[in-house]
A and B are shown apart, each in its own frame.
Chain A
Amino acid sequence: MRRHWAQPAVAVIAAMTLAGCGLGSTGASEDAGGQVTGEVKGKVSLQTWALKPKFTDYLQSVIDAFEKKYPGVQVDWLDQPGDGYSDKVLSQAAGGGLPDVTNLPPDFALPLVKQGLLLDVAKADPKLAEDYVAGGVDAYRFAGRTGAYGYPWYLNTDVNYWNSELLTKYGLDPKKLPTSLDELIAQARTVKEKSGGKAYLMSRKPGLGDLANAGVRIMSEDGRSFTFNTPEAAALLDKYRDAYKQGLLPQDVLTDKYAGNAKLFNAGAVAWTTGGGNYITGLATDNPSLAPKVVPSPAMGTPPLYVQGLSVSQRSKNLPAAIALARWVTNAENQAAFAHLTSIFPSTKASAGDPFFSRSDGTNAGDAKVIAFTSLAKAAMLQPVQVDGAMSDIVNQQIALAVSGGTTSRKALDDAVAKCNQLLQN
């Protein structure tokens, strides 16, 4: 009896297996240089990160225009909520269901690249480097690998924000803002003394970005080991430890409450914070009386570069359409339109001359936008993308231990490097 159904079942499985061999056929082809060519048609999925509902109209119009340009294409747009986005992408990737085009910051992209899940778009699209700013493209180049694995979409960086009222109240001049850590600590001491310890200027503990900013090399060039346990790094932590001991920072900065920094600033308890180019616009809603008193200034040292990009799945069934879609969403016109809606900055070279970004309207929010835009020219990713969640925790813990005086700065850094290296090699 069993053989009656067993034989057809084997035949069906065999047929499916054979049919499966042809599933990758897309009509796409690669030339000798690896460039993907072929007709832009078929169904492609696009996954974004928390753009609905605020930017639904914008992105839908971008997609509609793409479908109009390529009538043979149908775009299936999926927007994932902000919380748990990495888990969602992880389950998609693990289950073989990564969308054709996915919004991935570089640190999310790297593990997928290691598994061969993302397309080398520098190879597939040789005009990548011509059209996008180098910093954006470089963010998707990873140590030890050739190629680039994402179209840079939009960029951002940090600007310093100062509460001019608090500064003046505690004897500081908002026109002579600190431009280095030493000046910051000196002014923080003044605020502490004149406020009787009620107000603070500094309210965050240092991180890897601060070490990089102090000239410390975080990783070896081949990306195989961490190297931030240097005397310079220890000296920086020592400065923070002394400042903490003197009460120049709130006690709770050691429990990873960096978000608390902005909260304290919004509440008027701290006179300095950092934020993106649109920070004052958001503050105008949270604390309308404080917003006009805020003075922006460029970030100290090298400004951090935050990059969002679109990566293409290596397993896309319609590669030419997927590449065309990623390029379309990130082209200069569409990025400029996006930047006009919210305070992000485009990653295309053609956007450099847009006066919208380079001229202030005279308000402090406009000044901040211009400062952020001009800072992008020298901004860099200060923390290597190899630093994963567990490493980040270890580094934060060890830095907190050093700043609290629980161990020496050198030992904390040595321990952090040893543990991070262990995780890196695992």
Chain B
Amino acid sequence: MTHRRWFTPWLLVAPALVWLAVFNIWPSVNTVILSFTNAKPLGGGHFVGLDNFHRALTDDQLVDALLNSIVYMLVCLPLLTLLPLLMAVLVEKKLPGITFFRTAFYTPVIASAVVVALIWGWVLDDRGLVNGVTQQLGLAGGPLPFLTDRWLLLFSAIGLTVWKGLGYYMVIYLSALGNVGRELHEAAAVDGAGAVRRFYHVTLPGVRSTMLLVSVLISVSALRVFSELYILSDGTGGPGGRDMSVVMLIQMYSRGFTGHLGYASALSLLLFAVTIGPMLLLLRLNRKAA
């Protein structure tokens, strides 16, 4: 006779539940608790009510950081949604040597973000490759301030993100394009549609849900940008810290012996509130499409 106990399933999922509780749920709950205190890493914090949130909302550093993160998202979003799709359409064709191009486009994805940012830092430095070439060719009188001008630094980091992300999203689109029926393209071609019309009327509707997914992934990761700006600016966020992202701001306040964990937690919750926007938008768009 098989003797089943009610807790057997719970025992099986217990390790996963413990893992989830310790490493996911508790840190999230703790962040909320900390955001109402002036806690330090070595303890000693006490309840300060909404002080941290009030301070954050009147902090010009947060305004700058939020603006940078939003500009980052708004520029990355169209570029990383459309360019990988175009690349995927190009490399989807079965041509001799196409595997080489697919691999080449994907290579930056597997490189570490830190290493890539360091290399770009050297390339864009005052004494780097780009400035060396522009000055040799007489295109600029002095070095262009890619890493020291507020907006140039931000757009340099955006360029890096786009370059590194193209291959990743291209692969997602490649799998989606595989599901668009070949017969639809053939039918459209028979009806006299050219390549552009087929792309607009067949390909795009076929990958619409993938585009939505990609858009959300890009939006969330752009709002959470850190490595690119941190390394290109050597941790300072550019002169005056005007190119800091919200994540850099959180890092600045939370690190070290005297980290200001309460304030950093409040900033984290504000970032969470901002990041959840694209997710809700996706849900809404998905529902509409359905």
Q: Contact check: which of B40, B126, B239, B259 meets A404 at CB < 8 Å?
A: B239
Q: Does A134 contact B (CB under 8 A)?
A: no
CB within 8 Å for A111 and B239 given contacts A256-B234, A388-B257? no
Q: Does B138 contact A (CB under 8 A)?
A: no
Most chain B CB neighbours (cut-off 10 Å) among A247, A257, A401, A422:
A257
- Fill in one digit per residue for A110-125: 1 if any B CB lies within 8 Å of its CB, else 0: 1110110100000000
Q: Does A397 contact B (CB under 8 A)?
A: yes
Q: Does B194 contact A (CB under 8 A)?
A: no
Q: Does B208 contact A (CB under 8 A)?
A: no
CB within 8 Å for A94 and B42 given contacts A111-B257, A251-B148? yes
Q: Does B165 contact A (CB under 8 A)?
A: no
Q: Is the CB of B148 within 8 A of A255?
A: yes
Q: Does A93 contact B (CB under 8 A)?
A: yes
Q: Is the CB of B148 within 8 A of A390?
A: no
Q: Does B164 contact A (CB under 8 A)?
A: no
Most chain A CB neighbours (cut-off 10 Å) among B38, B242, B256:
B256
CB within 8 Å for A252 and B44 given contacts A390-B260, A401-B240? no
Return B114 CB to nearest CB of chain A, in Å: 14
Q: Does B130 contact A (CB under 8 A)?
A: no
CA distance A90 to B254 in the complex (A): 13
A394-409 residues at the B interface, CB under 8 angstroms: 394, 396-398, 400-401, 403-404, 406-407
Residues of B within 8 A of A90 (CB): 41-42, 256-257
Return A200 CB to nearest CB of chain B, in Å: 11
Q: Which residue of A lies closest to B41 (CB)?
A: A90
Q: Is the CB of A406 within 8 A of B126?
A: no
Return A114 CB to nearest CB of chain B, in Å: 7
B235-257 residues at the A interface, CB under 8 angstroms: 235-242, 252-253, 255-257
Q: Does A426 contact B (CB under 8 A)?
A: yes
A356-400 residues at the B interface, CB under 8 angstroms: 388-390, 393-394, 396-398, 400
Q: Contact check: which of B237, B241, B252, B258 meets A111 at CB < 8 Å?
A: B258
Q: Which residue of A lies closest to B48 (CB)?
A: A426
CB within 8 Å for A404 and B240 given contacts A255-B147, A422-B55, A426-B38? yes
Q: Contact check: which of B40, B236, B238, B256 meets A389 at CB < 8 Å?
A: B256
B14-41 residues at the A interface, CB under 8 angstroms: 38, 40-41
Q: Is the CB of A401 within 8 A of B148?
A: no
Q: Is the CB of B126 within 8 A of A251?
A: yes
Residues of A within 8 A of B263 (CB): 426
CA distance A111 to B44 in the complex (A): 11
Return A267 CB to nearest CB of chain B, in Å: 9
Q: Contact check: which of A117, A388, A403 meets B258 at CB < 8 Å?
A: A388
Main secondary structure on B side of the interface with A: loop
A318-354 residues at the B interface, CB under 8 angstroms: none
Q: Does B142 contact A (CB under 8 A)?
A: yes
CB within 8 Å for A393 and B258 given contacts A252-B147, A422-B55? no
Main secondary structure on A side of the interface with B: helix
Q: Is the CB of B142 within 8 A of A255?
A: no
Return A94 CB to nearest CB of chain B, in Å: 6
CA distance A206 to B138 in the complex (A): 33
Q: Is the CB of A255 within 8 A of B236?
A: yes
Return B232 CB to nearest CB of chain A, in Å: 8
Q: Contact check: which of B125, B239, B257 meets A401 at CB < 8 Å?
A: B239
Q: Is the CB of A255 within 8 A of B257?
A: no
Q: Is the CB of A390 within 8 A of B252?
A: yes
The interface size bin for chain B is 35 or more
Q: Is the CB of A254 within 8 A of B239?
A: yes
Q: Does B233 contact A (CB under 8 A)?
A: yes
CA distance A388 to B254 in the complex (A): 11
- Fill in one digit per residue for A407-426: 1 if any B CB lies within 8 Å of its CB, else 0: 10000000000000011001
Residues of B within 8 A of A115 (CB): 42-44
Return B56 CB to nearest CB of chain A, in Å: 12
Q: Does B205 contact A (CB under 8 A)?
A: no
Residues of A within 8 A of B236 (CB): 254-256, 393, 396-397, 400
Q: Is the CB of B126 within 8 A of A407?
A: no
Return B259 CB to nearest CB of chain A, in Å: 7
Q: Which residue of B lies closest to A394 (CB)?
A: B241
Q: Does B145 contact A (CB under 8 A)?
A: yes
Q: Is the CB of A114 within 8 A of B239?
A: no
CA distance A389 to B250 in the complex (A): 12
Q: Does A108 contact B (CB under 8 A)?
A: yes
Q: Does A250 contact B (CB under 8 A)?
A: yes
Binding site for A on B (CB under 8 A): 38, 40-44, 55, 125-127, 142-143, 145, 147-148, 233-242, 252-253, 255-260, 262-263
Between-chain CB contacts (< 8 Å), 27 pairs: A94-B42, A108-B257, A110-B257, A111-B40, A115-B44, A197-B142, A250-B126, A252-B147, A254-B148, A254-B239, A255-B233, A255-B234, A255-B236, A388-B257, A388-B259, A389-B255, A390-B253, A390-B260, A397-B239, A397-B240, A398-B240, A400-B239, A404-B240, A406-B240, A422-B55, A426-B38, A426-B260
Binding site for B on A (CB under 8 A): 86, 89-90, 93-94, 107-108, 110-112, 114-115, 117, 197, 247, 250-252, 254-257, 269, 388-390, 393-394, 396-398, 400-401, 403-404, 406-407, 422-423, 426
Closest 4 CB pairs of A and B: A401-B240, A397-B241, A388-B258, A111-B257
Known: A254-B236, A255-B236, A404-B240. 20 other contacts (CB 8 A): A110-B257, A111-B258, A114-B42, A115-B43, A197-B142, A252-B148, A255-B233, A388-B258, A389-B255, A389-B259, A390-B259, A393-B235, A393-B241, A393-B252, A396-B236, A400-B236, A404-B239, A406-B240, A426-B38, A426-B262
